[in-house]
Amino acid sequence: MTTDTQTWTAVCAAGDILPDTGVCALVDGVHVAIFRVGQEPSLFAIDNVDPKAGASVLSRGLVGSLGDRIVVASPLYKNHFDLRSGECLEAPEHSVRAHAVRVENGRVLVALA
């Protein structure tokens, strides 16, 4: 899918997300976790629901890296999710979707995968 055919939803101001943290937003009925990594914002968006627990908590996880992968650790079961792909490193069957995210006019926009 190209960006020309995606539906973009504004979720918050870019400055609302502190470095190395995440926020949760409801986008077309889907709980999405949006993360800002570093001072120069790199933004990532994945599903917010931890598939093992069924709880909407991934946005509250700890952001870090494992090797060359930028990850978030679920606050419940500590599984690591790659922020670029949504892959669960410990149990690939528990992977989540990764969504497109961008900043436009100071607003964070998300397009569901």
pLDDT for 70-89, tens place per residue? Answer: 999 999 999 999 999 999 99
19-111 in CATH: which number? 2.102.10.10
Q: What percent of the chain has pLDDT over 70?
A: 96
Task: Give per-residue pLDDT as tens, 100-109.
Answer: 999 999 999 9
pTM of the model: 0.92
| pLDDT range class, residue 31, cuts 50, 70, 90 | very high
pLDDT of residue 26: 97
Beta bridge partners of 25: 32
pLDDT of residue 39: 75
**Domains of the chain, residue spans:** 19-111
Per-residue DSSP letter, 6: P
Cβ neighbours of 91 (radius 10 Å): 13
Per-residue DSSP letter, 88: B
SS3 67: coil
